[in-house]
Amino acid sequence: MVKRVFKGVLVSVLILGCTTSDNSAYVRDDVQYGITAGTFRGRWWSYYERGTSFLNGDYFEEAISDFETALIGRKKDSWQARTYGLHFTQYFPNRELGVAYYQMERYEEAAALLDQAVEMVDTARGHHYLGLARRSLIAKGVIEDLDAPGITDDLEEGVLLTDHVLPIKIAASDDLGVAEVRLNDKVLPQRAERTKVEFQEQVKLKEGVNEIEVVVTDLANKVQTEKHSFILDMTGPTIGLFTPTDAAVLETSTVSVEGVCLDNHGMAEIIINGKKVASGNGQMQLAFSSEIPIKAGENKIRMMARDMAGNETCSQILVYQGNLNDVAAHAWLLQQRDPASLMFAQKTGRFTLAAVPEAGDKILLKSPRSDKPNRHNRAVRVSGEVTASSGVSELSINGQPFDQLTGAPKEVFSRRIPIEDEKLLETGGHMKVSVVAKDKDGKTLKEEVEVELRPVTLNTIESRMPIAVLAFEGHETSDSLSEQMRLTLEEQLLLRKRFRTLDRVQLQAVLTEQELAAALSNPAEAIQLGRVTPAHVLLIGDVFQHGDGVEIKVRIISSETSDVIAIIDGYAKENNLEGFKAACESLATQLEKIYPRMSGELLVVRERRGKTDLYFDWTSDDGLQPGAYALIVYEEPAEYDEVLGEYFGPFITEVGRVRFEEISKKNSRARSVEILTEDIKLEQGMAAITM
């Protein structure tokens, strides 16, 4: 009897399944819903697939019925649920049932179920609808939101900044959920409307006063705002010299150095030959006068002025103690004022004491120099001096006014100019620097130089983690949509300057016996493809079309072991370019958190059995993944430039690349994969940075 009843139920289920799958009544806009891709088997996965189809067609009652039946067979949501044999499927009946409840305006049931669903599997789509359900409950008065959201950041009010790129950490929280965070009117990419969200951003500042505003909105549309004001000061103090204004020959045993320093944001101190001669407490102008002892022959008097932000301007004054009528003294003076004439006189033997010209008005551009590349990866330092007997009335650097003028006959200036061109920042190139001055008589002086920009190695494209964004397979979507998602993700990854993506040309170049198109169309073959590419990881995506949005799941796969390292997801709330961009921004953020850019230190270099083991101070708590790569770098000490009278550096040289094999609670072990500089030996204490 029991067997007959079971058989009857089974037949009924099969009949119901086949009838519903082929039911032409569920048609909207020439699209049939309530169907499955293959035979309706009456199993939990069949009900889930058919329920998803019903939901996409807005047949909510039918979708709810199928999802509830599916949950009887399998209760938990999963990215990969095994159906039979080696077949797997994406399975989210709790989440999709919650979505259906929301569409039916059963908000309390929807919120409860979606809350459970995101606990099972944290998905962006689940959080999106959980937020919508909570918004609706707030609007109906079922949930009362009494508190505004909270903001925490690491910004300090009123700080003088000297770097035009300001890193910011922002944490926002709300008891029901953070809906949106804006930084200076830019909406920060947020994966989901969580109770706590964190961001790490960079803001580019301009010289002068900068306003930064952080605005957080919660699900009840309550707003919390934090405003900060900063001053960016990339200009060093101006040194105005009244005496001496040029190289001079003196018969006295001391030289009087007199002048005034000016800085728009306040002076801190003036140092001459290592001795502090004037101290400031933030006043704009600071005068100085000091008698400096000199010895026979050439004397170099080094002067440095520092402002309250820490910017420095340096000047080097040359004087010669000796008899004004001596040939040696005149030769030295001619060397300073007209070195070409001195060379001619030495060659022809026609040197006379009357041959030294008077000091004239001029611009001496000390930095940058055409014979010395600029190694800074963010700014070019422009420093020099203008000598004008009547006084300098105007000064500009690359067309931008320099208004810190003292009125002295000699003005020593210093300013750092941000490198705005992204290409120059990444690959280097050439940049022109032009300094134009006018004296009080209306005479114009001009000096130009073309400097080579050669950024430090760690800022180049090659130092970034290489990844390959491979196949994006569409599920009930068009091929064009899947390809658009893949390209949008690549674009967002490149914008972050943390990764470099291998394009199709590069992939084709490394293939030997495989056809690119065939490899990319099959995820299993795509993994094999990764083994012959320089990519560290492969990204393989699945795109799911829902009736009201697009879900993207991306598997992060090791190109060497084929292991799935992690699964990340995004949800485009709107079927348009802005929605796709927001979803891919979220994916890029998640990938960046899995592979953070971290600095560390080489602890031990151990030779064992012909192999070199390298131990670093990163641990499993830092989030470092086995198989990740890092660069070992050597920091060259700063060099003193005799011409400028300033220190430059330190500079960074890339020594080698390593791959991590073991990560523990105490340290991490890696093996060297490439030595980039043979003349620098790997040693304890060297710095390292993750790729």
pLDDT of residue 520: 47
Residues 396 and 258 in one domain: yes
pLDDT of residue 388: 93
pLDDT of residue 134: 95
Are the C-beta atoms of 34 and 49 separated by less than 8 Å? Answer: no
Q: In this predicted structure, which of 249-253, 273-277, 373-377 has the lowest mean pLDDT?
A: 373-377
pLDDT of residue 683: 87
Listed residues 176, 211, 232: the one ending a domain:
232
d(CA 627, CA 657): 12
Residues 67 and 123 in one domain: yes
Q: Does the residue 145 lie in any domain?
A: no
Q: Does the residue 99 lie in any domain?
A: yes
Pick from 414-428, 434-448, 611-625 the range whose average pLDDT is largest.
Answer: 434-448
d(CA 197, CA 447): 51
Tell me the pLDDT band of 457, cut-offs 50, 70 and 90.
low
d(CA 47, CA 34): 10
Q: Residue 185 maps to which CATH number? A: 2.60.40.10
Are the C-beta atoms of 406 and 355 separated by less than 8 Å? Answer: no
Residues 126 and 180 in one domain: no
Q: Does the residue 495 lie in any domain?
A: yes
pLDDT of residue 558: 86
Residues 298 and 366 in one domain: yes
Residues 77 and 184 in one domain: no
Residue (of 88, 8, 13) closest to 45 by Cα position: 88
pLDDT of residue 192: 84
* Entry pTM: 0.77
Mean pLDDT, rounded, for 379-388: 92
Listed residues 535, 565, 588: the one ending a domain:
588
pLDDT of residue 103: 96
349 pLDDT more than 70: no
Residues 378 and 270 in one domain: yes
Tell me the residue range of the domain where 582 lies: 464-588
Residue (of 549, 374, 227, 47) closest to 34 by Cα position: 47
Average pLDDT of every residue of the chain: 86
517 pLDDT more than 50: no
359 pLDDT more than 90: no
Pairing of strands 178-183, 186-187: antiparallel
| Those residues with Cβ within 8 angstroms of residue 165's Cβ, 6 or more apart along the chain or in another chain | 202, 203, 204, 205, 378
Mean pLDDT, rounded, for 20-35: 78
pLDDT of residue 526: 54
Residues 314 and 421 in one domain: yes
Q: Does the residue 539 lie in any domain?
A: yes
DSSP state of 86: T
Mean pLDDT, rounded, for 495-523: 60
Mean pLDDT, rounded, for 610-626: 85
340 pLDDT more than 80: no
Tell me the pLDDT band of 351, cut-offs 50, 70 and 90.
low
Pick from 14-23, 255-264, 339-348, 566-575 the range whose average pLDDT is largest.
Answer: 255-264
In DSSP notation, 518-586 reads: HHHH-HHHHHHHHTTSS-SEEEEEEEEEETTEEEEEEEEEETTT--EEEEEEEEESSSSHHHHHHHHHH
Q: Does the residue 389 lie in any domain?
A: yes
In DSSP notation, 304-343 reads: EEEETTS-EEEEEEEEEES-TT-HHHHHHHHHHH-HHHHH
pLDDT of residue 85: 82
The total of structural domains in the chain comes to 5
516 pLDDT more than 60: no
Residues 446 and 347 in one domain: yes
Q: Does the residue 281 lie in any domain?
A: yes
326 pLDDT more than 60: yes
Q: Residue 683 maps to which CATH number? A: 2.40.10
Tell me: the pLDDT tens digits for 192-234?
Answer: 888 999 998 889 999 999 999 999 999 999 999 999 998 999 9
Residues 291 and 415 in one domain: yes
Mean pLDDT, rounded, for 654-658: 87
Mean pLDDT, rounded, for 449-455: 86
pLDDT of residue 180: 94
Q: Does the residue 607 lie in any domain?
A: yes
276 pLDDT more than 50: yes
pLDDT of residue 305: 96
Tell me: the pLDDT tens digits for 60-94?
Answer: 999 999 999 999 999 999 998 998 887 888 999 99
Residues 169 and 120 in one domain: no
Tell me: the pLDDT tens digits for 230-246?
Answer: 899 999 999 999 999 88
Residues 29 and 120 in one domain: yes
Is pLDDT larger for residue 36 or for residue 17?
Answer: 36
Listed residues 588, 621, 642: the one ending a domain:
588
5 pLDDT more than 70: no
Residues 197 and 329 in one domain: no
Q: Residue 504 maps to which CATH number? A: 3.40.50.10070
Are the C-beta atoms of 591 and 556 separated by less than 8 Å? Answer: yes
512 pLDDT more than 60: no
Q: Does the residue 594 lie in any domain?
A: no
pLDDT of residue 146: 83
Both tokens of 437, joined, read 């001055």
